[in-house]
Amino acid sequence: MSEQNFLLNRLAKIEREVRIWRIFALLSMGCIAVAVTMGASSKPEIPQVLRAKEFQLVDDSGTIRATLKTLGNSTQLRMHDGSKKSEVAIIANDSNAIVDLTNDNRINSANIEAYASGGSIGLSRRTGNGKALTHIVGGTEGSFVKLQPLKGNEILIPAE
């Protein structure tokens, strides 16, 4: 075999190898493109149940604006403005349920409480000057309304 034939055979072999590598590269790129397309178009899996001791809702700056959590035997949902001056809290436990509305850096607030024992509801308003309270009781022990004003004596209706 002459040197010229040897070079021609060698060149043909190299051309076959280049064709094989081109096919392999095209197939690899095609597989990668299909995998990326399938990954981008697939919907994320949504879990059926989320379990946690606390959930936090934050705004764009990362400030916590609401929490849902358990604390001891109570469950609490608290929502507030970004400065934490105003807050709405809903709290439930085995002895009462509370809706608490707070404003002005916790100086002024209003509460509605439903007590498990005695079938009573408490309404209160807290200000910088003190706390006014109204209890409405209706149970097996009798029904009455008790008023505790900011100033003055406690009033019981019907009077004892």
Residues 32 and 95 in one domain: no
pLDDT given for residue 82 in this prediction: 78
Contact 122, 102 (CB under 8 A): no
Residues 126 and 63 in one domain: yes
For the chain, how are helix, strand and coil distributed in percent, rounded to 5?
A: 25, 45, 30
Residues 146 and 89 in one domain: yes
For all residues of the chain together, what is the average pLDDT? 84
Residues 84 and 118 in one domain: yes
Residues 145 and 120 in one domain: yes
Residues 11 and 81 in one domain: no
Residues 124 and 79 in one domain: yes
Contact 92, 106 (CB under 8 A): no
Residues 104 and 58 in one domain: yes
Give the domain extent around 100.
54-157
Residues 7 and 33 in one domain: yes
Confidence of residue 140 (pLDDT cuts 50, 70, 90): low
Domain count of the chain?
2
pLDDT in tens, 67-88: 999 988 899 999 988 777 788 9
Residues 89 and 112 in one domain: yes
Residues 76 and 22 in one domain: no
Residues 74 and 119 in one domain: yes
pLDDT in tens, 12-29: 888 999 999 999 999 999
Percent of residues, the chain, with pLDDT higher than 70? 89
pLDDT in tens, 31-78: 888 888 877 666 777 788 888 889 999 988 888 899 999 988 899 999
Nearest to 79 by CA among 71, 95, 90: 90
